[in-house]
């Protein structure tokens, strides 16, 4: 086997599997006679370990995604791959754009980690390709993003919270639990989480405003340029794939990462997103909720930056959270 892992220091969060483990996984999924010709680790994601795997005698490669070891997973990010798998029946509106699951194994009998084998999407990640197009074509890309987000947000669910659970009857309970889980994770790595706990207190105090959201909607959780594929040779950026939907949960569409990113740079090409998605609610209760959602995003960003060893980035989240807290209080 030609094996090309990404070399990382032993203390980093993402850790590659071995060539022997990849062969064992493929033997379990495709049969013991299968031979792996090559496996190349892909570096786009920051949570799972992902490989492009070519099998001898098969024309098209497959994608192998391997979850972190259970002991490395934070409470707020536990079993994300299982959460994605549980979301698939709800993501039917995006089925033509998503990879097909060939096999998923939660037994941890082969390598002690969850893994999923999927079909390989055509195209190139938008994060790598979009910048090659003239900026005059970018609004068309964001209009497509608005269509996709609207399709997903239109899906209604049975409860609030992560698709695979835990489940909550009220939106306020799901939001408060998420804030507290992130704070617990920050505590566990020695980071000050007192500001996030203050936001959790605000959320609990203003539960009535949060509980104006009574219909759980599907939130992709992480849908933006890094999670879509563009056609290879189109004259304008054309979305042909969507992947890594492991942070899905049920709740208020305004709480979604996609909405946060679409609003992040007003007056730019991103404004085209709203032409197809529609406008947001700007009532006082909605503004309050948005502040709580932003604090949750910042808490998650702080945790991710710590995981990546970005010390300066972690420090910057405290100023960002202070600004949000001032507005909330």
Render pLDDT for 51-89 as a digit per residue (tens, 0 to 9): 999 999 999 999 999 999 999 999 999 999 999 999 999
CATH number at 80 reads 3.30.200.20
- Statement to judge: residues 229 and 95 lie in one domain: no
Are 91 and 215 members of one domain?
no
Say yes or no: 44 and 140 in one domain: no
pLDDT (tens digit per residue) in 275-289: 999 999 999 999 999
Same domain, 129 and 225: yes
Decide: pTM greater than 0.75: yes
Tell me what pLDDT residue 46 has.
86
Of 103, 119, 135, the one marking the end of a domain is: 119
Residue 241 clears pLDDT 90, i.e. is over it = yes
Regarding whether 165 and 87 lie in a shared domain, the answer is no
pLDDT at 329: 86
Residues 85 and 150 in one domain: no
The whole-number pLDDT of residue 10 equals 83
Residue 53 belongs to domain spanning? 2-119
Q: How many domains does the chain have?
A: 2
Same domain for 170 and 287, yes or no, is yes
- Domain identity same for 89 and 172: no
CATH no. for residue 231? 3.90.1200.10
3-state secondary structure the chain: CEEECCCCCCCCCCCCCCHHHHHHHHHHHHCCCCCEEEEEEECCCCCCEEEEEEECCCCCCEEEEECCCHHHCCHHHCCHHHHHHHHHHHCHHHHHHCCCEEEEECCCCCCCCCEEEEECCCCEEHHHHHHHCCHHHHHHHHHHHHHHHHHHHCCECCCEEECCCCCECCHHHHHHHHHHHHHHHHHHCCCCCHHHHHHHHHHHHCHHHHCCCCCCEEECCCCCHHHEEECCCCCCCCEEEECCCCCCEEECHHHCHHHHHHCCCCCCHHHHHHHHHCCCCCCHHHHHHHHHHHHHHHHHHHHHHHHCCCHHHHHHHHHHHHHHHHHHC
Average pLDDT for the chain: 96
Residue 196 has pLDDT above 90, yes or no: yes
303 and 202 inside one domain: yes
Same domain for 95 and 171, yes or no, is no
- Using the 3D structure, point to which of 96, 119, 142 is the last residue of a domain: 119
Pick the last residue of a domain from 72, 95, 119.
Answer: 119
228, 102: one domain? no
Considering the domain architecture, whether residues 52 and 110 belong to the same structural domain is answered as yes
């Amino acid at each position: 086997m030609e094996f090309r892992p990404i070399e990382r220091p032993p203390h980093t969060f993402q850790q590659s599997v071995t060539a022997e483990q990849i062969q064992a996984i493929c033997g379990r999924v495709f049969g013991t006679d299968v031979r792996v010709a090559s496996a190349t680790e892909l570096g786009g994601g920051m949570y799972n370990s992902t490989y492009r795997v070519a099998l001898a005698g098969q024309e098209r490669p497959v994608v192998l995604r391997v979850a972190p070891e259970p002991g490395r997973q934070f409470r707020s990010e536990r079993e994300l791959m299982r959460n994605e798998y549980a979301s698939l029946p709800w993501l039917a509106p995006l089925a033509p754009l998503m990879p097909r699951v060939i096999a998923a194994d939660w037994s941890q009998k082969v390598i002690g980690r969850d893994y999923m084998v999927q079909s390989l999407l055509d195209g190139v990640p938008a994060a790598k390709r979009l910048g090659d197009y003239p900026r005059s074509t970018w609004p068309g890309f964001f209009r497509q993003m608005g269509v996709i987000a609207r399709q997903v947000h239109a899906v209604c669910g049975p409860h609030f919270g992560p698709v695979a659970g835990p489940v909550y009857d009220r939106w306020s309970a799901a939001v408060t639990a998420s804030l507290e889980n992130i704070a617990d994770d920050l505590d566990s790595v020695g980071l000050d989480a007192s500001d996030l706990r203050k936001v959790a207190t605000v959320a609990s105090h203003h539960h009535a405003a949060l509980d104006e959201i009574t219909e759980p909607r599907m939130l992709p959780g992480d849908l933006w340029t890094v999670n879509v594929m563009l056609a290879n040779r189109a004259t304008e950026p054309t979305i042909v794939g969507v992947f890594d939907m492991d942070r899905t949960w049920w709740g208020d569409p305004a709480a979604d990462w996609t909405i946060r990113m679409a609003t992040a740079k007003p007056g730019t090409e991103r404004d085209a997103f709203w032409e197809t998605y529609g406008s947001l609610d700007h009532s006082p209760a909605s503004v309050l909720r948005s502040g709580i959602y932003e604090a949750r995003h910042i808490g998650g960003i702080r945790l991710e930056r710590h995981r990546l060893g970005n010390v300066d980035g972690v420090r910057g989240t405290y100023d960002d959270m202070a600004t949000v807290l001032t507005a909330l209080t």
